[in-house]
């Protein structure tokens, strides 16, 4: 492989990483973009980030946030794309809601 081809290949490769975390809601909640009330419980959240090129240190920017929720019927699950701010807002509302 020539140096030119190798340089092009290096530029074409984007470094993506996925972070997985579990978030817990104490109360039923809503997230913008999901048209139904979700039950209280623990949910897996996946965040994809891509490396910002050209810096002297490793830095990443968020490119997608997804949450795994139960399907409306049956035992299936769905992975839904959501906004990270919308998730944060829902967590804040849940944390400030009074416990019954």
The region of weakest confidence among 26-30, 66-70, 71-75, 86-90 is: 71-75
Alpha-carbon dihedral sign for residues 55, 21, 32, 72 = positive
Between 91 and 11, the more confident residue is 91
Residue 44 has pLDDT above 80, yes or no: yes
Q: How confident is the model at residue 55 (pLDDT cuts 50, 70, 90)?
A: confident
* Pairwise pLDDT comparison (2 vs 36), residue with the higher score: 36
With contact defined as beta carbons under 8 Å apart, do 87 and 29 qualify? Answer: no
The whole-angstrom separation of Cα 97 and Cα 19 is: 28
Q: How confident is the model at residue 13 (pLDDT cuts 50, 70, 90)?
A: low
Tokens 């990270």 belong to residue? 84
77: β partners: 70
Q: What is the pTM of this model?
A: 0.78
Spatial separation of the C-alpha atoms in residues 94 and 77, rounded to whole Å: 22
């Amino acid at each position: 492989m020539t140096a030119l081809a190798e340089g092009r290949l290096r530029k074409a490769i984007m470094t993506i990483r996925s972070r997985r975390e579990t978030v817990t809601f104490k109360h039923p909640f809503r997230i913008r973009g999901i048209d139904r009330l979700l039950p209280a419980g623990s949910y897996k959240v996946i965040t994809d980030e891509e490396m910002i090129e050209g810096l002297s240190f490793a830095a990443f920017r968020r490119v997608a946030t997804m949450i795994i929720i139960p399907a409306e019927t049956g035992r299936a699950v769905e992975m839904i794309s959501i906004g990270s701010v919308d998730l944060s807002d829902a967590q804040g509302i849940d944390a400030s809601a009074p416990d019954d």
